[in-house]
Structure 1
Amino acid sequence: MTNLKTLKKQVAPFEKGTTKESIWQLINTVIPFIILWVLAYQSLSVSYWLALVPMVIAAGFLTRIFIIFHDCTHYNFFKSRRTNRIVGTAMGVLTLFPFDQWGHDHTVHHATSGNLDKRGTGDIWTLTVDEYKAAPLKLRLAYRFYRNPIVMFVLGPIWVFLIKNRFNRKNARKKERKNTYLVNVLIAAAAALMCVTVGWQQFLIVQGSIFMISGAAGIWLFYVQHTFEDSYFEEDNEWEYVLAAVEGSSYYKLPKVLQFLTGNIGYHHIHHLSPRVPNYRLEKTHNSIPELQHVPTITLATSLTSLKFRLWDEDRKNFVSFREVKSLPKTSISTQAKPEL
């Protein structure tokens, strides 16, 4: 990677989106989601398995809706902050995320990603090898439970999206608390309306299936783009923002269909380098700057290996599995980060 200090300047021209592109993305995302939802509902009269086809596709579009929500919290989707808040809050109702609360945690995540001394907000619970070896049995068991794929990708969406998001964080400001209450009320009202309109059983089947599929996909995307073998973690005095972005966030090279449904979030290294770049400009940014094409790259096949990575080895500067840890010597503990999911 050459001249890291110039990268942010090179990315700057791509930080401005257009209202036309943003509105078009809203249209080609929300309308197909609604059509697929109705199609899934109608297909239930034949069989659940037939309805599962449009539900899986709808889950992809719900993931894309989340990316729009995500961009709005970065205030890069529209030029107007007010428009970003309105659209972002609406997309938050569909995805079960409060705008201000998640925006706060995600901003902290961007500012601290890969910083060993500032873990615990907006990220995945990660212990170092030293911390794990020195931890009491209770903590090690809790960490193993948390890192179990079933817990992370099945129970995780239920806990984080459905339950945790309904409550304000400690010390949240009044504006943030009010936004959480507003989103909760709108979610309850929308759910009640749908139950009256289509029936509570049908609503729970369709929306519940879409929610679980998209929720698992969302956590997987976040997990795999920060948990790959040679990621980036450093203590605060050695941590660098640009390095954390381009080396600690992967380029997830996906097939075009999945790239579309995931709102280009596979270009995660660019997003962390400059959160001001709208999702529909990420690919162009990547293709225009050669330095950004030589970053940690993973594919659908190679990303599956991330499932075995559990702990960060500070000595070897890479992720290791629980099995590999058994052969490493026990040393002193440093900072233990608390789980976010």
Structure 2
Amino acid sequence: MTKQKQNMLRKQVAAFEKAETRNSVFQLINTMAPFFLLWYLAYESLQISYFLTLGIAVIAGGFLIRMFIIFHDCCHGSFFKSKRANKILGMVTGVLTLFPFEQWKHDHSVHHATSSNLDKRGTGDIWLLTVEEYRESGFWKKVAYRLYRSPFVMFILGPIYVFLFENRFNRKGARKKEKLNTYLTNILIAAAVAALCLLVGWKAFLLVQLPIFMISGTAGVWLFYVQHTFEDSYFEENEKWEYVKAAVEGSSYYQLPKLLQWLTGNIGYHHIHHLSPRVPNYKLEQAHANSEELQNVPTITLATSLKSLKFRLWDEDGKKFVGYKAAKRQVQSKNVKVVANPILRKENKYS
């Protein structure tokens, strides 16, 4: 991709970067009001059938994901024109979604600045090893990596650990403002939980909130996972890494059914979001439709996205994600070539 084309793409998307207060307020209303209504209905349904409660919780979980997208936009300063308004709403939605605003704002900004950069992994992303790194890892590191990348840990235990525990503590090197924001978020979460337990009882609270939390948490982690874990993604070492290519080729277009697209705040247009985080979520689809070039990007659907579950390691030679078996076959193949060729036996790093 030439520099001229990269500049053209950034210019096309830049036209959609301005937030519109009317659209922002409308989205806030059609997200928050249904969520609180559904929570109340789920509570009332406990008197009828818990299966009904779970059904309502599924829908409420969808609205909680939509609320997180609003929080996400506030962290980028793209939901409202006002910096102060973004901060206040980001704080409120952060309490409701269990995320400290300042801390996540920092980590997610680092994620955007380093996404797909093999030399700058570790902040705001999912643990990733290359085939070579995995091959050279010790036994226990391999075990830890396999556990981390297993569906049960990634999508069930992962949300519980990150949302309930990791988000409650400050990162190393956090500034005073960030630390205070985390403390305040924790206090407000504790106060909200205590108030609800006093109002409806702790058992009713858990019966309603836990399924909503697990549904939204699992779906949220899944969305983040598939946005960068697809076969022909883009990863490069720092000297070859390019921001626009990382956005357009390293972030997927997750083509979801309209209802799911709406509930997930258009985050499936992830290539647009990474190209310009300043574009509000309600303008991502417009930005995508405005550029023919941006419509011809890595596209995944609900069906094809399931294939990403088998992708574990990044193959630097093949420039694609592979599973453990494919990586093992690749290493064995190289070893055979080394054994067969005396020159390669001395020079090849796989010897």
Answer yes or no: same fold by TM over 0.5.
Answer: yes
Q: Structure 2: 5+ residue runs without aligned partners?
A: 336-347
| Structure 1, unaligned runs of 5 or more | 334-341
Q: Decide which of 299, 302, 305 is 1:303's aligned counterpart.
A: 305
TM-score by length of 2: 0.93
- Contact 1:130–1:332 (CA under 8 A) maintained in structure 2: no
Please name the residue that 2:34 is paired with. 32
Q: Which residue of 1 aligns with 2:129?
A: 127
Counting aligned pairs with the same residue, the percent is 68
The CA deviation at 1:332 is 5.0
Q: Give deviations 1:268-292, integer Å, cap 9, x for gaps.
A: 0000000000000000000011111
Task: Give yes or no for the alignment of 1:70 onto 2:72.
Answer: yes
In the alignment, structure 1 residue 10 sits paired with structure 2 residue 8:
no
Give 1 or 2: higher helix fraction. Answer: 2
Q: Deviations over 1:88-122 (max 9, x none)?
A: 00000000000000000000000000000000000
Give every structure 1 segment of 4 or more consecutive aligned residues whose post-TM-superposition deviation is greater than 6 Å. none
Letter of the 2:176 partner, please give it: K
Matched, 1:41 2:43: yes
C-alpha displacement of 1:57: 0.2
Report how many aligned residue pairs link the two structures. 333
Structure number with higher relative contact order (C-alpha < 8 Å, ≥ 6 residues apart): 1
Which residue does 1:210 correspond to in 2?
A: 212
Aligned pairs (5 A) from 1:309-320: 309-320=311-322
Equivalent residue in structure 2 for 1:158, among 157, 160, 169:
160
Q: Is the Cα contact below 8 Å between 2:12 and 2:290 reproduced in 1?
A: no
Q: Distance in 2 between matches of 1:241 and 1:185?
A: 38
Taking the aligned partners of 2:251 and 2:145, their CA distance within structure 1 comes to 23
**What's 1:339 paired with?**
none
- SS of the residue aligned with 2:239? coil
Equivalent position amino acid for 1:93 in 2? V
Q: C-alpha distance in 1, partners of 2:98/2:131? A: 35
Alignment counterpart, residue 137 of structure 1, candidates 127, 133, 139? 139
TM-score normalized with structure 1 length: 0.96
2:341 is aligned to none
1:149 aligns to 2:126 (yes or no): no
> Structure 2 CA distance, aligned partners of 1:306 and 1:237?
27
User: Which stretch has the larger CA shift, 305-314 or 41-50?
Assistant: 41-50
Match of 1:255 in 2: 257
1:223 partner letter: Y
Structure 2 distance, partners of 1:190, 1:332, is 56
Counterpart CA distance in 2 for 1:251 and 1:161 is 26
Letter in 2 for 1:76: S
**Retained in 2: the 8 A contact 1:40–1:55?**
yes
Contact kept in structure 1, 2:235 and 2:319, CA below 8 Å:
yes
Which residue in 1 is equivalent to 2:272?
A: 270
Match among 171, 175, 183 for residue 185 of structure 2: 183
